[in-house]
Structure formats: C-alpha cells, structure tokens
Structure 1
Amino acid sequence: MKVLAAMSGGVDSAVAAARAAEAGHEVTGVHLALSRNPASYRSGARGCCTIEDSNDARRAADVIGIPFYVWDMSERFHADVVEDFMDEYAAGRTPNPCLRCNEKIKFAAVLDRALALGFDAVATGHYARLREGPDGLVEMHRAADAGKDQSYVLGVLDQDQLRHSLFPLGDTPKAQVREEAAARGLLVADKPDSHDICFVADGDNAGWLREKLGDRAPNHGGDIVDDATGEVLGRHAGTYGYTIGQRKGLRIGTPAPDGRPRFVLDIEPVSATVRVGPRERLAVTRLRGIRPRWCGTVPTALEGSGVTVQLRAHGEEHRARVIVSLDGPDTEVEVELLDPAYGIAPGQAVVVYDGTRVVGSATIAATERVPA
C-alpha cells in the first residue's frame, strides 16, 4: 500500500512510520504545520508543532529512508480546533481539542488530501488496535498498553476513516517503543512526550483564553456563589477560566462551614456566575450526548457487563446503559451511569465501549446529578 505517515516529531510517530516502511508499504512522511507562528523550541514536554518538532520529524524520515514533506494546515487547524476551543469555553462548556483535531484535521483534512493524492492509508503513532470484525467491518479496540491507550481521542472516527487508518503501535508497550527507536538510530528515542493542549504551550489555559478572547468574552468578571446558600464568596475575572469539577485556583476567602474544599458545580456565562459547593454535588448519574459519531453500525441500545463509557482522555471506565434515540432530525445518546461519575462538564466527550471495542462517541450536552 501507499501509506502517508503523519510524523509529529515525536518518538511514537517515528517508530510507526518505520514499522510501516519495514512492513513493505510505500511510505511518505508528512509533518503537519498547525501553528501560524511556530516557536523555535518546545517548553519541556508542553506544546508541539514547533520548528524543532519539524526538524526532528525530518531527521527521523532521513534515518528511515522515506520521502518527507511539510503540509501547512494552520488555517484549517485554527478554524476547526482553536476557534472551536475558544467558543466552547466562552459558552461555559469544556471541550477536548484533541478529539476535534482527530475528527477535523488528522483523519479528515489530511486523510482526504492523502486519498486524493493516491495514498491508501494514513499511519499515525496513536496507541489503539484495529481488527476486522465478524461482520467484515473494521473494529477499533483499546491498546495493549492500558496506560498509553488513546482510543478515547479516536472515538470520533467513522468506518470509512478506520478503513484508511494504520496504528502500528497498538500492540506494543511504550517502553518497548522507545527501546526500538534507539535501536533504529532515531534521535527522538528519549524525547519527552507532549501533553496538555498543544497550542497552549505554557499550560495556562485561563491565561491563554483571557488573552485570545479579548472583547469576544461574554464577561470579564462576576460572582463566585455558594450553590446552597446563594452567598457571594468571591469574584472571578471571567467564567472561561473555570471548568466543572475544578477545586484549585478558586481564591475564595470564606471557608466552607464544614471545612471541606469547594468545587465548581456550574458555570453561567450569561449571568457571569460561577457556582461552587461540596464534591458530592458533582456526582452525575445520567447524561445526554449530541452529535454522535459511530465507528461502525449505529446501535439502538447497549447494556450488559461489558458496556462502559469513558468521560475523560485518561479517566476511568464507568459501567453504563446506553440508549440511542432520534429527537426530530437529530440523533441523541442517553447514558445511564451505573457508577456515578464526578466533575463531568458539558462539552466533554462520552466514548462508548463494548469490552475493548470502541462503539462511538458523542458530545455531552447535559448531565443529571444525584439529588441534593
């Protein structure tokens, strides 16, 4: 096959490209330039898409012996990922830009261009496994290395995208990938993994949003309120600086009567109000998902011992019952959590599993909490 290997400049994508070439595929490496103004150097393990990353990817391609190109996807990335991130936070929701990038950029814009250029598949360094199911469809399963599993952020891929994807690292522990990179002479063998949001290089989401939103922010300050009593406990500089479940950085001078910490329970951008309360008020038992994307056949209902949902990229699994329903022209997903989850915010993704198989995902629109 003709394979386009997406090379970020990290160890995972480099080894994935090397494995694809070693398997006999005709491989071409491509680095995605996603930043309009890439920095010269990374900040430790934060950020990506820097000039340094591009050079690291090029050197890895040279060692592997494959052609290499840089594709400028910065405008598409800004429109589909960065702008979406800002809009969601301004509306009081908590988005996951990695899912949006996979959905809109890596397995949409890049895959579409690759297929138009005559490539058969796109290979990445994601940790997930693909296999053919009994119905002939391509199934996506969790990676062998549970600590590195990335099936959650790939839960937005549909069947056509899965048929044109390769994940060469899905069966391999991360430590072994680094050893292999060193044995292959790849200089990125010891390069730190990138983490957090790639376009917020210093990890300060609130500061980044404050700078970028400017006059677009719905408010520049408001009250932090005790949800039970209505007492104003403090002021904030903008609701976009908070997310449901947040405990640190509230800067509330008045302690709770019982001395326990408070958490963000609700965010109301219109009234510029942040409501806080005890952790037990964060317990969610039901949620509603919109804009579902299915990896294969659209289910109508899922239940049983193997049915679980994951609500964060590195979060735990929760046993669940899942019902898919049509509400007018739109499909919605109703999820009953058999084990309560805490700190779940609208805008996050719910990814549905049947055992290790990824069924699909949806964007959380609303949650139902345990009554006070």
Structure 2
Amino acid sequence: MTSETQSPPQDERIKEQSSFRQWLIRPELGGICGAFLVFVFFLLTAFDSGMFAPSGVLNWSIVSAQFAIIAVGACLLMISGEFDLSVGSMIGFAGIIIAILTVQMGWPMWMAIITTFVLCMILGGLNGWLVIKTGLPSFIVTLAFLYILRGLTIFAAIVTTRKTIIGGIHDKAEGDWLAAVFGGKILTGLFQWFGDMGWIETFERGTRKGQPVVDGVPMLIVWAIFLVVLGHILLTKTKFGNWIYAAGGDAEAARNSGVPVNRVKISMFVFTAFCATVFATCQVMEFGSAGADRGLLKEFEAIISVVIGGALLTGGYGSVIGAALGALIFGVVQQGLFFAGVESSLFRVFLGVILLLAVILNTYIRRMITGER
C-alpha cells in the first residue's frame, strides 16, 4: 500500500504578499494616487470658487480631454518602444490644412477634414517607415519632423493668406455633417431639462435667458472617452495589443516569435498622427480659426501624461487608463490653480516636479519587475 505525498499548505502571507505586489506594479497606480491627491487638494482649497460647479467641471473636463486625446496615441506608441515629438507640429499643420482647403480653396468642410486626416496619417506612417528603415532613434526622426512640419505650416499659411491665423471656419462648417462630429455637442436636450428642473444654473437675462450654463457635452470630450476606451480594448483584449507590448519589450525576441514588429510600430505612428488630427479638428471647430503656432509643446505634455500614467520610457509597459488619468491630473491642476487664485505660471513648475516624481516611481517599478538593483 502506497501513501500519497501531500504538499505542505501554502503560507497565506506569501499569497497576500504576491497579490499586493501584483497590485503595486500595476501601471495605473501612480495615476490613481495622483488623481486622488489632486482632487482632495482642490476640494479643500478651491471648492467655494466654483471649480466643482457644472461650468467649472466642464472647464477642466475640456482641458483634460485635450490632453487625453493626444496621450492615447502617445501611450500606445511609447509602449511599442517609440516616441513621436512631432505631435504638436502635426496639430498646427492639420488645422492650417483644413483652413486653407475650406476658406481659401472653397472645399466642402467634410472633404477637407477627410483629406487632412489622410494626409496626416500618411505623414505619421512616413515617420514610422523612416525609423524602421534607417534604424535611427525615433527621437531624432520625429524631432526633425517637428521642425519640418512647423516650418511647412507657417510657410503654407503665409503664402496663401499672408497671415499665420486663418479665420472663417465657423461659416464654412455651418450645416456640415462631419463638422458636427468634431465641433458639436450631445445631450443638449437632457441638459436643457436639467436647467428647467433647476438642477443646473441658467442664464437670467439677455438672449440666452433660460438656457443652462452647461448646454451639452462637447464632442471633444466624447472623442477623448472614445479613444481611451478604444485604446484600452485594443491593448488589453486583442492579439494586436499583445504585439504592441512585445514590440516594445524585446523587439528581437518578438520577431523570432512571429510578431510583425515593423508593422506594429508603423501602425502606432499612424495612430498617433490620427489622434493629433482629431485634436486639431476639434480645436479648429471650437475656435473657428486655425493658427500656425497651435499645438506648441503638446508633444511633451502628451509624453508627461503617459509617464504619469505609469508607462516606462523604455517601452513594453504601460496603460491607456493610466495615461487618461495623467491627462485628468493635468487638466484639473491647470484649471484648479486658476480657481484657487494661484499664479498660473506655477503650472509648469508642477509639470517638472510631477515628471521627475513619475520617472523615479517608474524606475522603481521597472526594477521590481526585472529584479534589477
């Protein structure tokens, strides 16, 4: 008669430690903690200023949405192991192209928008192709494109209009079906009902009497939510998402495993250009004009949002949700300083401090994952 060898019972402390460690290395951890602290701070210092009234919430939600749109593209590209420093210039370039095609050349708005998307995505693909074919760091290639696109944008605006700011977009966009997708609002009837019920403040005088101060959700916010959800599903629920992680983690090992690394990286450059063009189109529809200097420094703000959200600068690790939280932190702080009566220039001090802290935290997390010292 043989007796079965029984394994000793597992120590529950080991299980708990393992679960805690898994939670600790989640890329969203820094973004969650940062967002919590930021909201607590402004709830204590700016609650009475109207920051959390409907109009105040709309203000910082719009700013956060702007950061989030470009952060989604930057996040996926960074996870695949690359950078794109031309995002800001792409925003200005896309806006000017839309303005020239519509205001100066008389194209229908929908045709100008589609053409601009195609052109910008081709340029994004060219960025990726040059990185792959030359073997140069994406930092260098896209830095060159930063200057090329900015120069072409200013040149095109001056040659066609003798100005660097082109107006008249609202007139061309009126009644256009595609313009409403980027510049309209949704749930207007619902917010009007909120106003009629007294749940949202309404204007008391003038031509807008009875209209709620918040009369709908801008499409900019809708696009931000859509892109965050799309990016999260792509990254966590699809085979292509696994390829993105693999391409950024160890490109050579990924190739040996059958991952089309080059195609993945180029696709991420194209997607980053797409996100930049979404941002530019929404901005043009909101302001009714395009400026050659639009998008200045947006590439760095996008990268900082992604780093705050937990992505490693070395690639192969990150989260779209974390990047969205990083964008939320940016938007809340930028508007919160105004509501709290703090000098707005301190926002850039915050950017530097939060970037340094995020990099230190991410370095610590990377060492935990890899076992380095």
Which category of TM-score, normalised to the shorter sequence, fits these structures? under 0.3
Q: TM-score if structure 1 supplies the norm length?
A: 0.22
Q: Which has the larger radius of gyration?
A: 2
TM-score (norm 2): 0.22
Between 1 and 2, higher relative CO (CA 8 Å, sep ≥ 6) is seen in 2
